[in-house]
Amino acid sequence: MNYRHLYHAGNFADVLKHIVLLGLIEALLRKETPFLFLDTHAGAGCYDLLSESAQKSKEFENGINKILNKENPPELVQRYLNYLPAQTPPLATYPGSPFFVRPLLRAQDRIIATELNPRECRALASAVGRDRQLMVREMDGYQGLKAFLPPKERRGLVLIDPPYENPDEFSQLIKALTIALDRWETGIYALWYPIKERRLIDQFHKGLAEAIKREMLVIELCIYPEDVSGHLNGCGMLIINPPWKFDQEMNSVLPWLWSTLAVNNQGSYRHYPLKTSL
Ligand code: SAM
């Protein structure tokens, strides 16, 4: 487990992921009844963008910094920006997914954050401190799906955001999702994935469509052409059981993100329902 999110915090992939995450949490907040946010690969919680590691990669420069510099963002993007600790560059810190969602919780809602890397988990637990609504567990996120689903709230969102260090990650994900949906078929699931080679993503989508008979939405943003080898050309979010009209939120968000983040107008964006034999 060599992956450390500090090198990537605030990059274009985090921006897309956290904007989508915010939109999904907002949909859950429309009802008074409590919800659970299960963050299976939670990371360290809060990232110091002035640290040596973040300054080495400077990935946030082609992510959050570009967004902060651009005028007239779509409403959902503006609301995302409002949740950042400061809104003028240079940002000193960037919140990870549990910290992004924590300020949105009402008294009746809760977060369970699982993280396998002991160092990252210690950092997360110490950043969280004592918090009745945010439970941190050092454990495998895929085991967490079995341990914590279905939640007593019967409403909620599962974010699955692995580092893809394991070459089998895509097939492991499909298996884990199948098990999770057997336990809790009405939950919302949001899965982040890297786009390095189109062929692999097409295979992944085909596998999902065969294994999962639920409504699914694909959201993708590429800032380079899709097949530049050895490169993170783009990323996607796969949403299972998307909230009503959630895809429409993306109509204004994706073109704006692409025109702000694409390198020399390369790449593309799209969102569409993944066809299954429902
Ligand atoms: N979700 C975080 C966010 O949006 O801010 C970023 C998470 S980062 C992409 C992936 C994290 O998963 C890393 O911190 C890594 O240590 C952790 N990880 C790797 N394998 C895991 C596993 N099997 N279960 C739980 N966490 C794992």
Per-position pLDDT tens, the chain of length 278: 789 999 999 999 999 999 999 999 999 999 999 999 999 999 999 999 999 999 999 999 999 999 998 999 999 999 999 988 766 667 899 999 999 999 999 999 999 999 999 999 999 999 999 999 999 999 999 999 999 999 999 999 999 999 999 989 999 999 999 999 999 999 999 999 999 999 999 999 999 999 999 999 999 999 999 988 888 999 999 999 999 999 999 999 999 999 999 999 999 999 999 988 66
Q: Answer yes or no: is 37 within a domain.
A: yes
The one catalytic residue among 39, 109, 161, 168: 161
Element holding 239 (H helix, E strand): strand 234-240
Distance 52 CA to ligand 1 centre (A): 20
Pocket probe for ligand 1: among 5, 19, 157, the residue whose CB has the most ligand atoms within 8 Å is 5
Q: Answer yes or no: is 172 within a domain.
A: yes
Pocket probe for ligand 1: among 18, 60, 115, 143, the residue whose CB has the most ligand atoms within 8 Å is 115
Q: Answer yes or no: is 20 within a domain.
A: yes
Q: Answer yes or no: is 16 within a domain.
A: yes
**Is 161 among the residues known to form the active site?**
yes
Q: Answer yes or no: is 112 within a domain.
A: yes
Domains contained in the chain, number: 1
Q: Answer yes or no: is 137 within a domain.
A: yes
CATH for 199 = 3.40.50.150
Distance CA 175, CA 207 (A): 10
176 closest CA partner among 208, 216, 203, 220: 208
Closest residue to atom 1 of ligand 1, CA basis: 42
Half-sphere exposure of 32 (CA within 13 A, CB side): 0
CA dihedral 20, 171, 187, 75 (to 10 degrees): 10
Residues with CB under 6 A from ligand 1: 1, 3, 5, 17, 40-43, 96-97, 114-117, 120, 140-142, 161-163
* Token code pair at residue 1: 């487990």
Range of the structural domain that residue 65 is part of: 5-273
Q: Answer yes or no: is 49 within a domain.
A: yes
Distance 277 CA to ligand 1 centre (A): 32
Q: Answer yes or no: is 278 within a domain.
A: no
The predicted model scores a pTM of 0.97
